[in-house]
Amino acid sequence: MSLARKLAAILVADVVGYSRLAGADEDRILARLRTLRSDLIDPTIAVHNGRVVKRTGDGSLIEFRSVVDAVRCAIEVQTAMVERNAGVQPEHRIEFRVGIHLGDVVEESDGDLMGDGVNIAARLEGVAKPGAICLSEDAYRQVKARLDLAVTDLGPIRLKNIAEPMRVYSLRVGSAPESAVKMQPTAAEMPSVRVVPDKPSIAVLAFNNMSGDAEQEYFSDGISEDIITDLSKLSELHVIARNSSFVYKNVTASVPDMAKALGVRYVLEGSVRKAGNRVRVTAQLIDADNGGHIWASRFDRDLTDIFFDRDLTDIFAVQDELTREIVAALRLNLTHRDQGRLAQGRPVDVGAYEFLLRGREQASAHTRTGNRAARSLAADAIAIDPEYAAALALMSFTHVLDYVNAWSSDPEASLRMGMDLAQQAVGMAEEQPTGHFALGMACMWNRELDRARAEVLRGLELSPNSAELLILMAHIQIFSGKPADALETLDASIRLDPHYPEILLQFLADARFSLGEYEQAIVAIQRRLQQNSQSETAYALLASCYGHLGQPEESRQAWEKALQINPDFSIERRRRVLPFQNPEDFNRRVDGLRKAGLTVPDSGPF
């Protein structure tokens, strides 16, 4: 047997309390682990250039090219597990311990690794707390200057079967920090939004997952989201976007308080229980003015994998019935156009639908790992149903994000693929707004701004309550040199989505910057950075704002922070990629840096 000795970054991880979890329900815990590996762990390892050496039931031994890659991978997985464990009882949570060491290892001919490097990483994993990452001093030395980490020095620790005590550093990212907990709204803290007076207004809360399995959360969330999508097609309704209504998931508050916060009169709440091939959906419509129940119903259905048979009882029939009964309960007088929108059919293969729901959940993270996982899940859906337009639109979206963020080896090819897939989606289901969103986004980044605008307008015609389409329209308006129009569009989006995503603040800042309103742009950027402190784009624009305002020291600090977050971005690439109709709109951003006395290199974020 041939052996090779080398220096390697080794990560060892295992599941906390695996024996207890397996003893309670081994089949379920194994199924949840398989889902985690396929949706989260393996794609994250691949993105960070890791190699799974071996798995031992609940544990993994992984080799990385660098300690930086290993730590970034561990942070991304542990952070994602915080979200997946939200609302799950402690005794049912899957939590990982991780140990990372840089050391000497022996590689056998079959690829297995042995030696002190592996043993030390395994011992470090053993002393880590649930949700934490323990680094050896050798590993920490490699990353402390390159990653912005909050670590605890545990001092010298004697590890089992290791001759000398080793200094250990603990990085804890596997539990929600105190600041994150405080961000959950309480009834007293909820903002008040004025109810839209000229039409009935409704918020669909996230349906409760009653399946007893946290991994089924995507299914109950997906049903809630699709009901929102259906109701959003109706011009007679003001429908709050998913992003805002889902803020109150797992929050203890009265329906009147939530309705006041969202600016609506009506609230729909419900639950989903999925077991095997059976699903039960309950729902109730509440008038927040008096707390009374206008309508309530329960649906028990068998899921089916048969296509397009409207007589079959399936989850899509439940969604259709729910939407129609809500419309009836609100006594809406629908136009013929709105009636036609509700009558539109869609694929009813449950297997493809579940892949789509999981893919949408992954894509919403807007990370390289989530993007790759979303594309894989969309491909699984398309393999079942090649004409599933929503899955094609999702796959298009992931390719366009690859282009924008340079996440692929050939970004231009990614954009072409995104365009092709979006056009296919619109061709297959012209009446579905998701395809027009995907095509509008692809056209925008392909510098076809007029065509992008037309696609978004068609999408809004089909879905007048789409905050997502309005945000895209604002982005197009900014690139088209119409920042004042963008501000009006963003305002309309905020009325539909008062708890708007933080990216909206970036577009708000971009519009203010284009108008020369640098102080107001700074306010928007600082609000964004409070929610996302790792946005190099926000820091770069902030640096330019300070430059235009004659504050060179503040500009320099913001620029250095941008470069620290992502030193690989290139100004020249951003000049080439950002589809400003007027090149001066981009040049003004660079001029702000130069006014601050910064030497703008060929590489750097913008």
What pLDDT is recorded for position 337? Answer: 64
User: Strands, E, within 498-572: which ranges?
Assistant: none
pLDDT tens digits, residue range 531-561? 878 788 999 999 999 999 999 999 999 999 9
Here the tokens at position 230 are 């259906």
Pairing of strands 96-108, 113-114: antiparallel
**CA–CA separation, 415 and 441 (whole Å):** 10
| Poorest-pLDDT segment among 10-24, 343-357, 423-437 | 343-357
Torsion over CA: 249, 254, 255, 258 (sign):
negative
Task: Return the number of other C-beta atoms located less than 10 Å from residue 197's C-beta.
Answer: 7
Q: What is the average per-residue pLDDT within 14-29?
A: 81
User: Strands, E, within 109-191: which ranges?
Assistant: 113-114, 132-136, 151-157, 166-172
Here the tokens at position 297 are 């119903």
Pairing of strands 59-64, 50-56: antiparallel
Q: Which residues, in sequence order, are bridge partners of residue 135? A: 100, 169
* Confidence band of 401 (pLDDT split at 50, 70, 90): very high
What pLDDT is recorded for position 604? Answer: 54
| Poorest-pLDDT segment among 52-56, 197-201, 281-285, 468-472 | 197-201
| Poorest-pLDDT segment among 21-35, 234-248, 361-375, 508-522 | 21-35
The full set of domain ranges for the chain reads 3-180, 188-348, 351-464
* pLDDT over 50 at 36, yes or no: yes
What pLDDT is recorded for position 335? Answer: 61
Domain 3-180 has CATH 1.10.3720.10: no
Q: Which numeric CATH code is attached to 188-348?
A: 3.40.50.10070
Percent residues over pLDDT 70 in the chain: 87
Looking at the whole model, is its pTM more than 0.75?
no
Task: Return the number of other C-beta atoms located less than 10 Å from residue 200's C-beta.
Answer: 18
Q: What is the average per-residue pLDDT within 253-278?
A: 85
Tell me the residue type at 379: A
**CA–CA separation, 393 and 374 (whole Å):** 11
What pLDDT is recorded for position 139? Answer: 92
Position of tokens 């929503």? 390
| Poorest-pLDDT segment among 2-16, 274-288, 434-448 | 274-288
* Confidence band of 346 (pLDDT split at 50, 70, 90): low
Output the CA–CA distances (angstroms, integers) from residue 178 to 6, 74, 173, 218, 531, in the order listed: 41, 21, 12, 26, 14
* Confidence band of 311 (pLDDT split at 50, 70, 90): very low
Angle at 328 between CA 500 and CA 208, to 5 degrees: 50
Q: Classify domain 351-464 at the CATH topology level.
A: 1.25.40
Q: What is the average per-residue pLDDT within 565-592?
A: 90
Tell me the residue type at 260: K
Q: Please, are residues 101 and 82 in contact by the beta-carbon 8 Å criterion?
A: no
pLDDT tens digits, residue range 65-115? 889 899 999 998 988 888 777 767 777 788 999 999 999 899 888 889 999
pLDDT tens digits, residue range 426-438? 999 999 999 999 9
**CA–CA separation, 281 and 270 (whole Å):** 7
* pLDDT over 70 at 601, yes or no: no
Q: What is the average per-residue pLDDT within 296-324?
A: 62
Q: What is the mean pLDDT of the chain?
A: 84
CA of residue 92 relative to chain centroid, distance? 24
Alpha carbon dihedral 334, 337, 343, 344, in 10-degree steps, equals: -150
Nearest in space to 94 (alpha carbons), one of 28, 160, 189 = 28
Nearest in space to 166 (alpha carbons), one of 124, 103, 118 = 124
What pLDDT is recorded for position 187? Answer: 40
Pairing of strands 113-114, 132-136: unpaired
Here the tokens at position 302 are 């068998």
Tell me the residue type at 447: R
* Confidence band of 349 (pLDDT split at 50, 70, 90): confident
